[in-house]
Amino acid sequence: MTRDDLLYEIVSSVADRDGRAIRELPLLGEQIDVEAVQAAVESGVDRVEFEYLDYRVVVRDGDVELREQTE
């Protein structure tokens, strides 16, 4: 999965879940270190997790899973 593919998958998943257009979301690169996430995925780690908006994003084997944050 390329960097752009991964970023698109993440933001499109969040946009779909929130019922918003991708362009309405804050830029992912302003919220997380996208280079570090991509490097971790490419290195073969089992999974990468981070927070974006109200979600815990889990990237595992190229799949993106969203979990709603609980306080």
pLDDT attached to residue 4 = 85
| Residue-averaged pLDDT of the chain | 91
CA 70 to CA 65: how far, in whole Å? 16
pLDDT tens digits, one per residue of 26-54: 999 999 998 999 899 889 899 999 999 99
Dig out the tokens for 62 from the structure: 């190229």
Whats the size of the chain, residue-wise? 71
Give the CB-side neighbour count of residue 22, counting CA atoms within 13 A. 8
Please report the pLDDT score of residue 8 as a whole number.
93
The single-letter code of the amino acid at 30 is E
Share of the chain above pLDDT 70, in %: 99
pLDDT for the residue 32: 93
- Supply the pLDDT for residue 71: 62
Asked if residues 58 and 47 have their Cβ atoms less than 8 Å apart, the reply is yes
Cα separation, 14 vs 40, in Å, equals 21
